[in-house]
Structures are given as structure tokens and as C-alpha cells.
Amino acid sequence: MNGRADFQEPSAEVPRPITHIGPDYIPTEEERRLFAECNDESFWFRSVPLAATSMLITQGLISKGILSSHPKYGSIPKLIFACIMGYFAGKLSYVKTCQEKFRNLENSPLGEALRLAQARRRSSPPGHYYQKSKYDSNVSGQSSFGTSPAADNIEMLPHYEPIPFSSSVNESAPTGITDHIVQGRNFS
């Protein structure tokens, strides 16, 4: 017994209502299988190749003298760093592929939440974002992988116009400061 009362009739097929996908969400068996599959595929098809490639490139740069090796530990610290960065880059590069697999999953509350979030992003104009009120109903607003309260409230990042950059010394100097020497009184 799991400690929860189950008041459904055994023959009734009632889909679970989507109220909130958060840290307390318990994935279905199919979702667990897909999580394991995504984890394995992201490791073998993205993380391992990117980690190995980044380590080979780093070792090549050290061998050519472009990167210096540590006097005591040699190339090991830089190779470990390259391996770790390649591993995480591989995991991050697989996120969209895994989300697509969950979106295609039938009868999945998590897949439904991802489909709703994607539809919401497509329906809003580009560069537009809005912040949900904390008083809004949670039924209509699911997050895509809502682990952070801040991530649940911001739907899309704002569009910022680029600021022109100038490397001229005169434009970057604070106002009120001049480069000329102030002529003072001659006290001779």
C-alpha cells in the first residue's frame, strides 16, 4: 500500500488532469523509460564524442605550444577541463531532441505540458514576453521543465536592440574629464 487512497473504480479510464508539472511530479512508466533512453543517447551519441574531441584538440594545442602545460601536472588539468566541458556540452546539445521525444509521447502529462508550452511560445509575437501573475490559475500555465520558480514566470526573453560600439577614446571617457593640462598661475 502506498499510503494514498484510490477512489477510482477499477474499470474507469480517467486521464489524470494536468495541474502542475514540478518537482513533486511523478512520471509515468513510459516517461521513465524515455528519460533513461534520453540519458543513454545523450551520453553515448553527444557527450562521449564531444569530450573525446575536445580532449584531442586540447592535447594538439598543448603539443603545438599554443597552450602551455602545467610544470608539475603536465597536460592533465587542461585535458580534464576539456573533457568535463565536452561532457556538459553534449548533454546540453541533446535537450531539444529529448524534449521533442517527450512532445511526441501519447497520453503523457509531461508531453502535454511541453506541447502547450511550445504552442504558447509560437502564438506570442517575436521578442514579446510576459510574466505570469502569481494569482493566475496554474491549470492553464504549465512550465516546460519547471524546476525553478523564476523559470515558471518568464515565458520568453525580451528582444533587445544592439548598442553601437565605438572604441574611440574620446567617446568612452567620462564627461567632465579632459585630456589637456590645465594652465595654472605661474608662481615664479
Give the three-class secondary structure for 74: strand
Higher pLDDT among residues 137 and 167, named by residue: 167
For residue 136, pLDDT beyond 50: no
CA–CA distance, 67 with 88 (Å, rounded to integer): 22
CA–CA distance, 157 with 16 (Å, rounded to integer): 31
Q: What phi and psi values does residue 41 have, to the nearest 5 degrees?
A: -65, -40
pLDDT digits (tens, 9 = 90+) for 83-117: 999 999 999 999 999 999 999 998 889 899 889 98
What is the number of helices (H) and of strands (E) in the chain? 7, 0
- As a whole number, mean pLDDT of residues 150-155 equals 48
For residue 56, pLDDT beyond 90: yes
Higher pLDDT among residues 140 and 29, named by residue: 29
For residue 44, pLDDT beyond 80: yes
List Cβ neighbours of 110 (8 Å cut-off, separation of 6 or more): 21, 25, 27, 28, 31, 102
* Cβ atoms of 27 and 35 closer than 8 Å: yes
User: What is each CA distance from 117 to 59, 88, 110, 152, 174, in whole angstroms?
Assistant: 43, 25, 11, 11, 46
* Cβ atoms of 90 and 50 closer than 8 Å: yes
Looking at the whole model, is its pTM more than 0.85? no
Residue 150's pLDDT is what?
Answer: 47
- As a whole number, mean pLDDT of residues 157-172 equals 60
